[in-house]
A and B are shown apart, each in its own frame.
Chain A
Amino acid sequence: MTPPDAVGATSVLAELAREVVGLRREAEVLAVALETGRHVVLEGPPGSGKSTLLRGLSRLSARRVLFVEGNAELTPARLVGGFDPALVLEAGYSADTFLEGPLIEALRGDGWLYVEELNRVPEETLNVLVTVLAEGELHVPRLGRIPAAPGFRLVAAMNPFDAIGTARVSQAIADRLCRIAIGYQGEDAERRIVEQVTGRSGELPELMVALVRATRDHPDLRIGASVRAAIDATLLADGLTSLREEATPTRDTLLDAAVAALSGRVTLEDGSARTAEEIVEELLDRLLTPPSRPEREDARPDDVPGAPPAGAPPGGDGATPGGNRHAGRRPAERTFGRDLLAAVHEDFTAVSPEVGTLDLDAFEALMREDADAALALLHDLARATDPVLRARARRLAARLTIGLARSGTPRRAGVRRLTALPGGRREGDLDLERTVDRMAGRRRPEDSDLVVRTWRGAQQSLALLVDHSGSMRGRALALAGVSTAAMMVASEGRARCSVIAFAGGARVIQDAGRPRGQGAVLDDLFGLHGGGLTNLADALRAASAQLRASPSGRRVAIALSDCLATAGTEPAGALSGIDCLHVLGTSAEPDAVRAGRDLARRAGGRFVLLDSVASVPRQIAPLLAS
Chain B
Amino acid sequence: MKTRAGVLRELGSNWEVIELDLDPPGPGEVLIRFVAAGFCHSDEHLRHGDIVPRFPIVGGHEGAGIIEEVGVGVTRVEVGDHVVCSFIPSCGHCRFCSTGQQNLCDQGATILEGCLPDGTFRFHADGQDFGGMCMLGTFAQRSVISEMSCVKVDKDLPLEKAVLVGCGVPTGWGSAVYAAGTTPGDTVVIYGIGGIGINSVQGAAHAGASNVVAVDPLPMKREKAEELGATHSFETAEQAHEAIQQLTRGVGADHAIITVDVVNEDVVGEAFEAIRKGGDVVVTGLADPTKVTVQVSGAMMTLFQKTLKGTLFGSSNPMYDIPKLLGMYQAGQLKLDELVTKTYTLDQLNEGYDDLLAGKNIRGVLLHDAA
Chain B residues with CB under 8 Å of A295's CB are 371
A389:B367 contact, CB within 8 angstroms: no
Report the nearest A residue to B82, measured CB to CB: A355
A324:B341 contact, CB within 8 angstroms: yes
Chain B residues with CB under 8 Å of A332's CB are 329, 332, 334-338
- The answer to whether B343 has its CB under 8 Å from any CB of chain A is yes
What 0/1 pattern do residues 317 to 356 of B give for CB contact below 8 A with A? 0000000000001111011111111111101100100000
Interface residues of B in 62-105 (CB under 8 A from A): none
A293:B332 contact, CB within 8 angstroms: no
Quote the shortest CB–CB distance from B339 to chain A (angstroms). Answer: 7
Q: A314-B348, A385-B156 are in contact. Are A323 and B337 (CB under 8 A)?
A: yes
Report the nearest A residue to B156, measured CB to CB: A386
Report the nearest A residue to B336, measured CB to CB: A332
B338:A323 contact, CB within 8 angstroms: yes
In the assembled complex, the Cα of A333 lies from the Cα of B331 at a distance in Å of: 7
Report the nearest B residue to A529, measured CB to CB: B332
Report the nearest B residue to A330, measured CB to CB: B337
Interface residues of B in 142-169 (CB under 8 A from A): 154-158, 160
- The answer to whether A264 has its CB under 8 Å from any CB of chain B is no
Residue of B35, B331, B337, B342 touching A320 (CB-CB under 8 A): B342
Residue with the highest number of chain A CB atoms closer than 10 Å, among B330, B339, B345: B330
Q: What is the size category of the interface that chain A forms with chain B?
A: 35 or more
B160:A300 contact, CB within 8 angstroms: yes
Q: A314-B347, A334-B332, A337-B330 are in contact. Are A321 and B158 (CB under 8 A)?
A: no
A296:B154 contact, CB within 8 angstroms: no
Chain A residues with CB under 8 Å of B330's CB are 334-337, 385
Residue of B335, B344, B369 touching A331 (CB-CB under 8 A): B335
- The answer to whether A199 has its CB under 8 Å from any CB of chain B is no
- The answer to whether B238 has its CB under 8 Å from any CB of chain A is no
Chain B residues with CB under 8 Å of A387's CB are 158
Quote the shortest CB–CB distance from B346 to chain A (angstroms). Answer: 9
B332:A333 contact, CB within 8 angstroms: yes
Q: A293-B371, A295-B371, A337-B154 are in contact. Are A319 and B344 (CB under 8 A)?
A: yes
Quote the shortest CB–CB distance from B99 to chain A (angstroms). Answer: 31
Q: A296-B369, A308-B367 are in contact. Are A322 and B154 (CB under 8 A)?
A: no
What 0/1 pattern do residues 300 to 311 of A give for CB contact below 8 A with B? 100010111000
Report the nearest B residue to A312, measured CB to CB: B343
- The answer to whether A384 has its CB under 8 Å from any CB of chain B is yes
- The answer to whether A343 has its CB under 8 Å from any CB of chain B is no
- The answer to whether B242 has its CB under 8 Å from any CB of chain A is no
Quote the shortest CB–CB distance from B12 to chain A (angstroms). Answer: 24
Chain B residues with CB under 8 Å of A307's CB are 158, 160
B340:A322 contact, CB within 8 angstroms: yes
Residue of A296, A320, A323, A337 touching B339 (CB-CB under 8 A): A323
Interface, chain A (partner B; CB < 8 A):
293, 295-296, 299-300, 304, 306-308, 312, 314, 316, 319-324, 327-328, 331-339, 355-356, 384-387, 389, 529
Q: What 8 A-B pairs have minimum CB-CB distances, sorted nearest first?
A: A386-B156, A334-B332, A323-B340, A333-B332, A355-B155, A322-B343, A387-B158, A308-B343
Q: List 12 A-B contacts (CB under 8 A).
A: A304-B158, A306-B337, A321-B341, A322-B365, A324-B341, A327-B337, A331-B332, A332-B334, A333-B332, A335-B330, A335-B332, A386-B156
